[in-house]
Every structure is written in structure tokens, then in C-alpha cells.
Chains A and B, each alone.
Chain A
């Protein structure tokens, strides 16, 4: 089954090796610099620091990262062949890739289960998510298959709900996918995913970017979210 078919018709997501790891490592290094760290420093030093921050401090850091506008382009370029296979050369990419921290311990803010379409991206948008380090604990993201996601969406739809208790309760008993640095997961916008509480001394840092063919329709996300981009 082709990658596109696997993501749109099959499981709904796929783990891929990032083809241009040099570029992706550059992205991590630029990120470290933006966070005031030397690129040669072990990222775990930053992860440890982040793990001790309050939610207010984390928010402040994330607002500061809004200016990290190169991130999405670097991430797409590091996987250009894969993106081309999914969407062709002429694409729309998220203007500002999201850098996401997941903090260990209970009572931390979590990304509750959701599917990306809820935010107004089009059904033809793909999401790529990659950690900046190996995921050795449960700090990653869990994903439900397309079939299981659809069952939940359909059940809530029949109850007149979207993102109601059925989906929110999926937070329990989930196992986040363990990825290595240099791996990414690509999924379609109907795949339910989220975080769970985890124990560690280190925060999890990941980057995600959304993209689609420029020849496919948009939904609510427009120039505020996407920019034109052409792959080589």
C-alpha cells in the first residue's frame, strides 16, 4: 500500500524515517539557539529545565516561539520527498510550525484527545509530528486508527456532540507511540490523538507542521495559517 493510501484509506497514520536528517538536526539546533542554548549542548539539559517550569512560564516561551517562522519550511524540506509523494510539488504549508512541550507529572496541561479537522483545516491537510529527541517514556502522543477514530466521531455525531465525553475519555488507558529522533509520524486530520500523564524528569519537545496540496480546497484555515511553498 502506498504511503498516501495508508494515511488516507488505511491505518490513518504512518511512521516514517526523516530522509534529510541533517536538515532536521539543523531545525533542532536552531530551536536550541532560540531557547538560549548552545547547539552542542545535550537537549536533555533543556528538557530538564522545561520540566521544572510553571504553565505560565511555558506559555511565555511558546509565545516567544511564534517568531520562529523558519521552522515549518525546514521541517518540510527535511521530508521533501515524502511531502511530494503525498501532495505534489506545489503546496501550502503552515506558516508557523508548532513547537510543543509536554510536561511530566500529574495536573499538567495536556493535549486532550482531538482530531485536527476540529481546528478548521481542510480534510485534505496532512499533519507531520516529530520529536526533537528519542521518546523513551510515555511523553509522546497516542493515536487511534482511522477506523476507531471514525467510530468515535460517528457515535458522538449521532448524539449531536463533537469532542464530547466519548472522545475526551479516550485519554485513559492509551499508550503513546515511541519514536526515535529522526522519525516522524504523518496522519490525516480525522485521527484522534492526545497525551497522557507520564513520569519523568524530562519534558518532551516536539515539532509539528501541517501541509496540503495547493490545488485542494481549504476550509476555515486560510492565509492566517498557510503559506504558499514550492518543493524542488
Chain B
């Protein structure tokens, strides 16, 4: 039974987090939550399937898997289903959101939440100044 942290592509939903910063975030989370990271898994960039983690699970039977964010879950439903099936015994920790849970229901809810934020309307703060932002609440 092992605790692993997983680094992925730099593009994580709305964030851009280099892998060394991902490790800092996850190690800080582990320390605050009394977890000891025993294995650091580098997933390949340009993929969100978390396949390496699933393959390694056969050997290590992960008890805890730490990711930076729920945005790192597979976007494709079939890929998500595979992950749910193969890692059903692992507890997932999403460090940035501070969300912890396991199982199908939890992972589907987390994926749906990621999907909502992915599609949410965003105000581009580089396109407005403070006074223009202020005007928005008056409309």
C-alpha cells in the first residue's frame, strides 16, 4: 500500500504549473495531511489518461494518489471509466482544491466539477481596468 504523487503536463485546466511546482504543491499538501510520498510518478505531457499511474498500480496497489488538481482527471469519458475501474481502491487527493475521496461517485463528481470550471465564463483581467470592473456591478 503506497502513497504516490503524480506530475503531469504543465497545462492543468486554467492553470499553468511546471512539474517542479506541482511537486512543491503536492509535497506541501502531503506534509499538512500527514502523508508520506513514497513514489513520484511522472505522467507524460500531452496526455491526461493517467495510464502510467494505472500500470504502476498493479505493482504498488496505491492507497493514496496525490494530484495537484481535479483538472488532471481524464476528460474523455472512456478514459475516466478505465481510471475509475483500475484505481477503485485508491484515495485521491486534489491538493489545490483540498478535495479528498475515493470511488466511482467521487471521481465522476470531481470530473463534472472540472468540466463546469472548464466551460465557465471568465472575465479576462488583462482586458479591463479597475474602473471598468467596478462598472460591471452597476449593470
- Docked-complex contact B125 and A219, CB < 8 angstroms: yes
Please list the residues of chain B having a beta carbon within 8 angstroms of any beta carbon in chain A: 13-15, 32-33, 69-71, 96-99, 113-114, 116-117, 120-123, 125, 129-131, 133-134, 136-138
Q: How far apart are the CA atoms of A95 and B113 in the complex, in Å?
A: 13
CA distance A22 to B129 in the complex (A): 42
Across the interface, do A223 and B133 meet the contact criterion of CB distance under 8 Å?
Answer: no
CA distance A162 to B131 in the complex (A): 11
A222-B125 contact given A67-B33, A153-B130, CB 8 Å threshold = no
Contact with B along A166-186 (1 / 0, CB 8 A): 000000000000000000000
Given known A-B contacts A63-B32, A153-B131, A228-B113, A223 and B125 have beta carbons under 8 A apart: no
Q: CB < 8 Å: which of A67, A122, A219, A224 contacts B96?
A: A224
Query: How far, in angstroms, from A123 to B136 measured CA to CA in the complex?
Result: 7
- A66 and B97 within 8 A (CB): no
Cβ of A98 within 8 Å of any chain B Cβ, yes or no, is no
Q: A residues engaging B (CB < 8 A)? A: 8-9, 63, 66-67, 69, 95-96, 117, 120, 122-124, 150, 153-154, 157, 162, 188-190, 214, 216-220, 222-224, 226-228
Q: Given that A218-B123, A219-B122 are contacting pairs, would A154 and B137 also be in contact in the complex, using a CB cutoff of 8 Å?
A: no
Contacts of B15 in A (CB 8 A): 222, 224
Contact of B97 with A217 in the complex, beta carbons under 8 Å: no
Q: Which residues of A contact B130 (CB under 8 A)?
A: 117, 153, 157, 162
The one of A63, A120, A189 that contacts B125, using a Cβ cutoff of 8 Å: A120
Residues of A within 8 A of B69 (CB): 223-224
Determine the distance from Cα of A220 to Cα of B122 in the docked complex, in whole angstroms: 8
Given known pairs A67-B33, A223-B117, the reply for A8 and B122 (CB within 8 Å) is: no
In the bound complex, how far is the Cα of B32 from the Cα of A175, in angstroms? 37
Bound-state CA distance A117–B129 (Å) is 12
- 20 A–B pairs (Cβ distance < 8 Å), ordered by A: A8-B137, A67-B33, A95-B97, A95-B98, A117-B130, A117-B133, A123-B136, A124-B137, A153-B130, A153-B134, A157-B129, A157-B130, A190-B134, A217-B121, A218-B122, A222-B120, A223-B13, A223-B70, A224-B69, A224-B97
A227 to B121, CA, bound (A): 15
A95: B residues at CB distance < 8 A:
97-99
Q: In the complex, how many angstroms separate the beta carbon of A18 from the nearest chain B beta carbon?
A: 24
Extra 13 A-B pairs, beta carbons < 8 Å, given A9-B138, A95-B98: A67-B32, A67-B98, A69-B98, A96-B98, A123-B136, A123-B137, A219-B122, A219-B123, A223-B96, A224-B15, A224-B96, A227-B97, A228-B113
Q: Can you list the 10 inter-chain pairs with the closest CB atoms, starting with the nearest?
A: A217-B121, A123-B136, A223-B117, A219-B123, A224-B96, A222-B14, A123-B137, A217-B123, A8-B137, A123-B133
Of A123, A188, A223, the residue contacting B97 (CB under 8 A) is A223
Instruction: Give min CB distance, A153 to chain B, whole Å.
Output: 6
* CA–CA, A69 and B70, complex, Å: 16
A150: chain B residues within 8 A (beta carbon): 134
Given A9-B138, A95-B97, A217-B122, decide whether A222 and B33 contact each other with a Cβ distance below 8 A: no
A222 and B125 alpha carbons, distance in the complex (Å): 13
Q: Is the CB–CB distance between B134 and A228 below 8 Å?
A: no
A157 contacts which chain B residues (CB < 8 A)? 129-131
From A7, which residue of chain B is reached at the shortest CB distance? Answer: B137
Whether the Cβ atoms of A123 and B125 lie closer than 8 Å is no
Question: A122 to B98, Cβ gap below 8 A?
Answer: no
